[in-house]
Structures are given as structure tokens and as C-alpha cells.
Chains A and B, each alone.
Chain A
Amino acid sequence: GENVEQHPSTLSVQEGDSAVIKCTYSDSASNYFPWYKQELGKRPQLIIDIRSNVGEKKDQRIAVTLNKTAKHFSLHITETQPEDSAVYFCAALGGTSYGKLTFGQGTILTVHP
């Protein structure tokens, strides 16, 4: 089955800096890669996603890049703000036709004012 590795496990940045979180996956049939943000005690919220026919996608301060050959994808947050502090999870959807996501272990992002 699919295996997703996420790094780093913790990331601390100053407000205004950029943050990058990286994930690798094992199943070359995976074709959909969402990113979720989870605040303490809350549900995971989908913040951005990318499909395997696209190399990069951007939404305001958030961008995701995908390298299918190397089987890795990354989340980039620019101009970080304290409210960006949360746990971020990457995920991959394998070759199934339904939403059976495999999640990474999570990255605790702390943005210091």
C-alpha cells in the first residue's frame, strides 16, 4: 500500500518568513495530493490540493509543488503569520477510485510574532 513520509516534524519560524514542508510517497499510481491544516482540538481542514497532471498550484500565500518523477510534493507558506501556527498534514490518494487517503505524520508549525 501507499506510504507517506513527512518532514520536518516541527518547524519554527519568525513572522514574515517562509515555511516549507516536504512529503514523499511510495505508490507511483497516486494521483491526488491534499494538504490539511489542523488546529488543536479541531477538524483537519483542506487548505490546498494538487493533482498529478499539474506541477504547481498557488492560492494566495500558499503553494504546493509536485515532482512525480521523484515522488515528492511540498507545501510552501510565504509571509507567515501567527495564525498559521497549527499542525499540517500531507496526504496521498492511491490508485483507488475513492477517498482512501494516506496521511503523513504531521508537521507542527509555530510562527513567532
Chain B
Amino acid sequence: NAGVMQNPRHLVRRRGQEARLRCSPMKGHSHVYWYRQLPEEGLKFMVYLQKENIIDESGMPKERFSAEFPKEGPSILRIQQVVRGDSAAYFCASSPAYATNEKLFFGSGTQLSVL
């Protein structure tokens, strides 16, 4: 009964590099949410995706950030040309198509550190 799987757990990047964060939803789930947690703050919604479709990206910065959830494989959150302010914990959650407003269970997160 695997939950939401995220990798890597820790990611270190230098300023200007690209960061790719992966999220595999729970088995049978076709909806994925990405949240970001800055140090000593609550989680903030970034983006909501279904397979091959972005539903709501209102919390995503307009530049450098993108997300996808392909037909096959995990959801990917991509951050181009990272800056120090991108250092944060990025959490993913998933839900089934038939109950998209049900409880959200988060993965273990990816801690991104930008040097």
C-alpha cells in the first residue's frame, strides 16, 4: 500500500541550474497537487494536474516554474535557473478522479537547497 512517492528526498543545486522534482501518485490516483513550504511557513498551493492536463496553476510563479503529468510516468515539477529563494520543501499529494475534494495525503517531500 505505497503512498505518494517523491524523489529525490534532497536536491542540491547551484544558482542557475535546473531542478527536477518527481512525484508518483498513489495507485489508482490520476490527480496530483504540488505545494511549496518555505522555511517556518505553512504549505502554499502551486499547481493541480490531471493526466496530461493542467487544471489550476494559479499558485505557480509565472517564470521558471513548470509542471507536467504525462500519460505514463510521474508528475514532474521543473524549476529552471534556480535562485536561492527557491530553497524550500516541495510536497506532492494525489487524489482519485472520483473524489477530488477528499483528504490530501502528502508525500515525504523534496528538500531543495540552492547554493
Contacts and interface: CB of A to CB of B under 8 A. Distances in A.
Interface of B: 31, 33, 35, 40-45, 48, 55-56, 91, 93, 95, 100-109, 111
Contacts of A93: 101
B114 to A, nearest CB: 18
24 contacts: A32-B101, A34-B103, A43-B91, A44-B43, A45-B106, A46-B105, A89-B42, A91-B42, A91-B43, A93-B101, A98-B31, A98-B33, A98-B48, A98-B56, A98-B100, A99-B31, A99-B93, A99-B102, A100-B45, A101-B43, A101-B45, A103-B44, A106-B41, A106-B42
Contact of A46 (B42, B48, B104, B111): B104
A91 B31 CA distance: 20
Given A93-B101, A98-B100, A106-B41, A44 B106 contact: yes
Interface residues of A, number: 24
Contacts of B109: 43
Contacts of B101: 32, 93, 96-99
Interface of A: 6, 32, 34, 41-46, 49, 89, 91, 93, 96-106
A100 B43 contact: no
A101 B104 contact: yes
A99 B106 contact: no
Sorted nearest first, the 5 A-B pairs with minimum C-beta distance are A103-B42, A98-B100, A43-B106, A99-B104, A103-B43
Nearest to B105: A46
Contacts of B107: 43
Among A45, A49, A101, A102, residue most surrounded by chain B Cβ atoms (within 10 Å): A101
Contacts of B108: 42-43
Contact of B91 (A34, A44, A96, A99): A44
B100 A99 contact: yes
